[in-house]
Structure 1
Amino acid sequence: MRIVQLITQARGGPVDHAVEMALAFAERGHDSHLIGPPGDYADRLRGSSAHWHGAAMSGALDLRGGRAVVRHLARLRPDVLHAQDRRAGLLGRLWARRATPCVYTLHGVPDSLADLVPGNVAVAPRRRRDGLAYLRAERQLARLSGSVVVTPCEAVATYARRHVGVPADRVVVVPNGVAVDVTVDAAIDAAGDTGGNTGGDTGHDRAVRAARGADPTPDTTAPLAVWLGVMAPVKRVDLLVRAVAQVPGLRLRLVGDGPERAVVEATIDALHLRDRVELTGFLAEPEAALAEADLFVLPSAAEACPLALLQAMALGLPAIVTRAGGLPEVVRDGVEGLLVETDDVRALTTALDRLARDPALRSLLGDAARARALSDLTAARCADRLLDVYREVAR
């Protein structure tokens, strides 16, 4: 089967997901292609049996970029076209119509519509044009193209059926998956780069051993919490910093960058936390930063099935997450981690303090998190589910 995936972004969760799927499809013997703008992600495809085709489309009205994408599609003539972001979904489905089987993954929703997803809270004011641009247009695209809409969680699927109006039989839930081997190998490589343990066990060493299947040892250092993502208002990173300030001794590592970084840094300075909070900026390979941690935190106001969370779970990290969107579908309270109410600083503080003080609980939840990631949330399992969708659409 010739599978062509289309992206118009160069960075982000949908891009990482598309790369993992392109590699997985190729490993299964399919003719796998990815069309997208130049970016670091393309390096992972070079030397593999998957193929990357460069085409940058800067906006919905970028006719030159759109023509470049269409030329690739016309030349490749895919058996199935899979659009992996909103702009790709617009162009891809208009090109495919009913002549080419088409799948579109709705990874998330605009911030102004976030509260329409069960579990999410309002993130940005609703604009008058949102209903036309994102609800009616999406409904018409789904019907015009005959495409199947894939969502990474049931919460977003409910939004697609209830608010967009996509027919229920055209919506399929396929959770994202993490490339376990890549995540674990990166953590192990990072452990080797540190020159080994020089006295006392570290969260880094424990995570690598957990990734290899070994039992973690008791903590002997101040615990380290890690957050990974884009610093945008929806992520509530400033709220996380305020919560950490109330947990004595807990250290925090923030991996990522974005428009809210200045706000986050101002909060850190106002609370005099420079000695306990580290900002790494964007890391193309964040596995090493995750592997050094004792727990993972995601206090978002809106989420679907974030790869950052799956990466952390694959490394055996217990997670503290909000009840936003699809997060409760991934982390069960008291099993793989702790669930807290969104925008509740007190609840977040209590959960952080609980895990910071209890290494045994961290170990228990971390083991369950890793088991869940390895059994249900791998890239291989995700690829197999998508291939089933492709075969059905092709029929």
Structure 2
Amino acid sequence: MPNHESLRIIHVLRAPMGGLFRHVRDLAEAHAAEGHMVGVICDVPGTTGYNEEMAAGLASSLPLGLHRVGMRREIGIRDLAGAGELLRLIKSLQPDVLHGHGAKGGVYARALGSLVRAGRSRVARLYSPHGGSLHYDRASRSGQVYFRIERALERLTDHILFVAEYERRTYREKVGEPRCSWTVNYNGLRDTEFEPVKPVATPADFLFLGEMRMLKGPDLFLQALDKVRARGNPGVRAIMVGAGPDTSAIRSLADSLDLSGSVAFRPPMTAREAFSMARVFVMPSRAEALPYVTLEALAAGMPVIATAVGGIPEIFGTDSLALVAPDADDLAEKMAAAIADPAGYSATMPDRDTLTARFSARAMADTAMQAYRSALALRR
């Protein structure tokens, strides 16, 4: 396929939130700027945590528009009605490429894309897991079901784009070696995001920024903060920015640990605004793919403490001193060290030039486009 040919590209995802939506936005805007016709389909507004501000900004830059169709997190009978509406929408948009993101978006893009292809369309079907169903335990009943579905959907998949080598390894271990072509395509940042953030006049010591759910480790953050305080740092302060299904439980935990005077809770805000409010960013997740927020913090010049889960070691290097286990004691030890010697700890962060070269939005968009054209050439 000629590299200059303009494509009609539709991204399908369920929840317009977090790093997944950020990844979709950056791909969509980069390809639209190159002259491609790009659109996005996602869930309807109304759910707490959905980034409606980002969605509104994206809608204005998409030649094929931002379309909202009801999508539930759980698989159920109501998916059939939503699938019918999605199929009609996809047919009307006449895509060359359907790129599904996350478990639900991946099912819709590949299954409905295959129905569209039955009508002699040449649409290419691509899938990016973004963790999704890969978070399930292989021994669990739910995991076994989802992994069988993933395996079956490979027959409807032209290419898989993993956001980290870790994600590819996890897929191989839980689902099997992909029977279609695949590429690792790291999340990437824009040039402006590599500008240092200027801190506020009196920043807190530590920042948690993310969705308030236990998978992201906000409880570990609070437990570690309590241990840092008990180790001779009674004045330690933290900011927790975000919202999610476990917000009430996290606030209750802060009260039970008597941290109300040490922790300030803030609603969702831009990452760079949050970065200005603290000295050290803490990423206490129990599971991740390749989190944007960690890249953003490093690019903004913040020292970072992160759990060695998912693709995070691919950002820092496996022997980095910034990496800890998803455990409150390990987090507390590293947090205490970071405030005891701020300059020394900052010196352990990844090299800035390496970060810029490996994790750019331009490289991410180019890799995705190569996969699109390869899948279309195969289809032809």
Both proteins in one fold, TM over 0.5: yes
How has the CA–CA distance of structure 1 residues 112 and 24 changed in structure 2, closer, same or farther, with 3 Å as cutoff? closer
Aligned to 1:157: 168
Aligned to 2:265: 279
Aligned to 1:226: 207
- TM-superposed deviation, 1:224: 2.1
Aligned to 1:348: 331
Q: Distance in 2 between matches of 1:381 and 1:375?
A: 8
SS in 2 for 1:296: strand
Indicate whether 1:21 and 2:32 are aligned. Answer: no
Question: Which amino acid is 2:225 matched to?
Answer: V
Pairs within 5 Å for 1:343-382? 343=327, 345-365=328-348, 368=350, 370-382=352-364
How has the CA–CA distance of structure 1 residues 389 and 373 changed in structure 2, closer, same or farther, with 3 Å as cutoff? same
TM-score with structure 1 setting the length: 0.80
Q: Distance in 2 between matches of 1:270 and 1:111?
A: 33
Runs of 4+ in 1 over 4 A off after TM superposition: none
Q: Distance in 2 between matches of 1:288 and 1:105?
A: 29
Alpha carbons 2:220, 2:326 under 8 Å: kept: no
Gaps of 5+ in 1: 117-125, 192-202, 206-220
- TM-superposed deviation, 1:334: 6.8
Gaps of 5+ in 2: 1-6, 46-51
1:153-210 CA deviation, whole Å, 9 max, x = no partner?
A: 11211122232124265232111123342x468x87xx6xxxxxxxxxxx348xxxxx
Aligned to 1:387: 369
Percent of aligned pairs sharing the same letter = 28
SS in 2 for 1:246: helix
Indicate whether 1:131 and 2:139 are aligned. Answer: no
RMSD: 2.5
- TM-superposed deviation, 1:370: 4.4
Alpha carbons 2:127, 2:161 under 8 Å: kept: yes
How has the CA–CA distance of structure 1 residues 3 and 112 changed in structure 2, closer, same or farther, with 3 Å as cutoff? closer
Indicate whether 1:86 and 2:72 are aligned. Answer: no
Aligned to 1:176: 187
Q: Distance in 1 between matches of 2:313 and 2:258?
A: 33
Aligned to 1:216: none
Aligned to 1:11: 17
SS in 2 for 1:45: helix
Q: Distance in 1 between matches of 2:209 and 2:324?
A: 18
Aligned to 1:239: 220
Indicate whether 1:107 and 2:89 are aligned. Answer: no
Aligned to 1:119: none
How has the CA–CA distance of structure 1 residues 24 and 222 changed in structure 2, closer, same or farther, with 3 Å as cutoff? closer
Q: Distance in 2 between matches of 1:228 and 1:43?
A: 22
The total of aligned residue pairs comes to: 349
TM-score with structure 2 setting the length: 0.83
Q: Distance in 2 between matches of 1:168 and 1:353?
A: 47
1:249-306 CA deviation, whole Å, 9 max, x = no partner?
A: 33211111222222322222222222221111333x2320113322111111111101
